[in-house]
Structure 1
Amino acid sequence: MNLTEKIKKSWWVIFSVIPFLNGFGFIYIGLKLNNKNWILEGVSYEFPWFFYFIVYAIHGQSVPSTMMIAFALILLLVSIIRSIWVAVKLADVYDNSEKYTIKSTVLANPVNKSEDKKDSSLPGCCFCIAVLFIIFAIITIL
């Protein structure tokens, strides 16, 4: 992949440099590549700005908001570093697409091909989920 194609695929990094929009780049790339973690990361970068505008709209300048702005600026710096890092990693994925593709394989059972086996891990999994639910319920009640 040449440099022009890498730049075309990494245009979303520009959003991380713009204050108030630094999370939209991650939201875009998360939606494009179906990665929920990047979508949540983008929302977390936008949350302090959203919260600041809500507080400013309700209270005006009467509420000191230097802590919110400081936190938002720190997240702006983190989003710039993180988006450049993700863009570099994605460029590596684009360059080595055959290395990162998932190939389907078929496993054959040479011993008993006609026997229909049921998945025995399902009841154990449901039991573990039920136990975890009970533990969390007890913790929340206490």
Structure 2
Amino acid sequence: MNLTEKIKNSWWVILSFIFFLNGLGFLYIGFKHNNRNWILEGITYEFPWFFYFIIFAIYGVSVPSTLIIDFALILMLISIIRSVWVAIKLADVYDNNEKYTIKQTNLNHSVNNQNKDNGSSSICCCLCLICIFIIFAVMAL
């Protein structure tokens, strides 16, 4: 991947440097890569600014909100560091795409091998899946 493609794929990092928009970059990249953790991270970075605007709209300038702004600025600094880190990791993924893609395996079994023990292995597989499901259900309670 050349330099211009890396820049085009990491333009969202610029949003981390802008006041009030520092979480939108993570929202964008989270929706693009279908990563729920990045979406939640973007909401976390935007939440103090949203809360500040609500307090400012209700009470105006009379309420001291320096604590909220301080918290938002700390989260902004964290989002800058984190977005640069994620962009570097994503550039590695883009460069080594064949390393991170899932390849299908070739299943060249002969007809004789497929007919051997087909019934017992499928029953064992189903029992294992049922046991795993029960374990996860118990852990969820």
Category of TM-score, reference length = shorter chain: 0.7 to 0.9
State the TM-score, normalizing by the size of structure 1: 0.83
d(CA) in 2 for partners of 1:61 and 1:80? 28
Instruction: Give aligned-pair identity as a percent.
Output: 64
Partner of 1:93: 93
Partner of 2:118: 114
Partner of 1:11: 11
The structure with more helix, counted as a fraction of residues: 2
Measured after TM superposition, the shift of residue 61 of structure 1 is 2.1
Root-mean-square deviation (Å): 2.2
Cα deviation 1:36-87 (Å, max 9, x = unaligned): 1111111110011001111111111232211110000000000000101111
Cα deviation 1:8-33 (Å, max 9, x = unaligned): 11111110000100000010011111
Task: Name segments (4+ residues, structure 1) moved above 4 Å.
Answer: none
Partner of 1:68: 68
Cα deviation 1:85-139 (Å, max 9, x = unaligned): 111111111111111111122666x4835327241134434433543454xxxxx
d(CA) in 2 for partners of 1:101 and 1:133? 31
Partner of 1:80: 80
Q: What secondary structure, in the 3-state scheme, does the structure 2 residue paired with 1:117 have?
A: helix
d(CA) in 2 for partners of 1:95 and 1:127? 40
Q: Pick closer, same or farther for the CA change 1:128–1:63 going to 2, 3 Å.
A: farther
State the TM-score, normalizing by the size of structure 2: 0.83
d(CA) in 1 for partners of 2:50 and 2:25? 16
Q: What is the total number of aligned residue pairs between the two structures?
A: 134
List runs of 5+ in structure 1 lacking aligned partners: 135-142
Amino acid of the structure 2 residue aligned with 1:127: I
